[in-house]
Structure 1
Amino acid sequence: MKKLFLCCLLFNFIQFTHAEDLENNVRDYIKSGDWSDFKIVDSSFGRVAATRAATEDKRTNTTLAFTYPTHDKCKLAPVEIIYKLDKRLDNDSEFEAYGNIQVDSGALRRVEAKIIQERGNEFVFIVVPDSNLDDMAQKGKTITVNFKGYGVVEFSLNGAKSAIGNAKSECKNFDFS
C-alpha cells in the first residue's frame, strides 16, 4: 500500500519524471519510526531530482509528504496531504480551501491550500504552501489536519525529526542550483 501511495505521489508531483515504473525512481528508502525518507531520481540520467520525508495515517489512508527539490536550493516544496478515496473521481477540479493544522495541543493554525482532484484518479491532493511546517513537525508528537469535507486526520510524528533531517541533508548533497 505504501508503495502505491509513493508511486501516485511521485507521478503527480514530479512532472519532469516520466517513467513506466515510477517505483524504479525511488532510491535509498529509509524507515525512521512511523516516517520514511527517500530520494527521487531522474530515470534518464539517474540524477537526484528531490528528496522526500513522508508518513501515513493508516486509519484514513492518508499520506503527509515533505519534498525538497534539488533544483530549488532544497527549499521545502508545498506540503502534500494525499487522501485515498474508495472510488475513482468522475471530474477534474482545482480550488482553494482553508483548513486547520495543529501540532500536539498547540495553537491551531489556519492555512489556505489548493485542493486538486483529477478525473480517473483515486487520490485527492491538498497542497499547502507552508514554508515551515516541516520545522513544526519535528517538534511534536502528533500533527492533526482538518479540511472541511475530508475529516480529521492525525499523523504520528514518531521518527519525523530523523526522516526530515535525512531528507534535507541528502538534498543538499545533490543541490545543483
Structure 2
Amino acid sequence: MMKRTILAPLLILLGAYLLLNQGGTVGPGTIFATFWPTMFVIPLGLFFHWMYFSLVGRKGIGLLIPGGVLLTAGIVSQIATLFDSWGSMWPGFILAAAAGLFEFYWFGSRNKWLLIPINILTVLSLLFFVVFSIGPVMSYLSFIQPVIAVMLVLGGAWLILGRRRHS
C-alpha cells in the first residue's frame, strides 16, 4: 500500500513532464532540476502535517507552522519551475508564511490576534500577485491593441458624424 501511494504521484508527474517536454532530453539531471520541490520540499511539509495529525496526538501544534510554510512554498516552487514563472510566482512565498500561521490559528487556540499578521501577509501576497501578473497578461494581449485603437477611432467618428445628422 505504501509503495502505491508514493509511486502513483511520481508516475503521474513523470508522465506529465514527458508530455510537456516532447522532443527535449530527459535524464536524471533534468528530472531533478524540474521536480526538486516535489521530491524534497513538499514531502517535508507533508511530514510535519503527518507528525501533528498522527504521531504527537495533536499536541505539537507548532509543527503546523513549518508544515504549512513548506507545503505552500513547495507548491509555489513546483508551479514556478514547471512554467518558468518565478517573476510572477514569488509572492507565493509570502503567502506560505500566511498559510503556516493560518494552520496554527485554525487548529490551535484560535487566538484572534494571529489574524492580523495572517491578513496582512495574505493581502500583501495577493496584491503582489496581481501587480506582477498584469505585465505578462498585457503582453499576451498586445495583439489586441490595434483592434482596440481602430474601434476607438471608429466610435469617436460615429459619435461626431451621428450628432451632425441629428442636428
What's the TM-score once normalised by structure 2's chain length? Answer: 0.23
More helix by share: 2
**Which of 1 and 2 has greater Rg?**
2
Larger fraction in strand? 1
